[in-house]
Amino acid sequence: MRYHLIVYVPLADAQKIRDVLAANGAGKIGNYDSCSFSTRGTGRFRPLKGSDPFIGKNGEIAEVEEERIEAVVSGIVLKKVLKAVRKAHPYEEPAIHVLPMRSV
């Protein structure tokens, strides 16, 4: 099975995350690798008491320019990819979405 992986990351860390994805097997489509798609936008969040935010202050809304990185991931390497992304990501609680894909 293949999955559609989506990761939100500050702009300054986007290339590092793309590199981690590719190095761990994400973004392989047929005879191509390192495939991904990115869009930029604004992320918003409020760190709550007990958090240790990379950006922002506890109790205050923060806005950050982020990149949304999308890649296809085989179920065979999914756990490895997720572990590597979480380790490389600067956020304490990164926003990561994993959606199952159907063949068409």
What is this structure's pTM?
Answer: 0.93
Please indicate, yes or no, if residue 72 is contained in any of the structural domains. Answer: yes
CB 28 within 8 A of CB 75: no
> For residue 82, what is the domain's CATH number?
3.30.70.120
Show pLDDT as tens, one digit a residue, over the chain (104 residues): 999 999 999 999 999 999 999 999 999 999 999 999 999 999 999 999 999 999 999 999 999 999 999 999 999 999 999 999 999 999 999 999 999 999 87
Within a domain: 93? yes
CA dist 10 and 29 (Å) reads 26
Distance CA 86, CA 88 (A): 6
Number of domains in the chain: 1
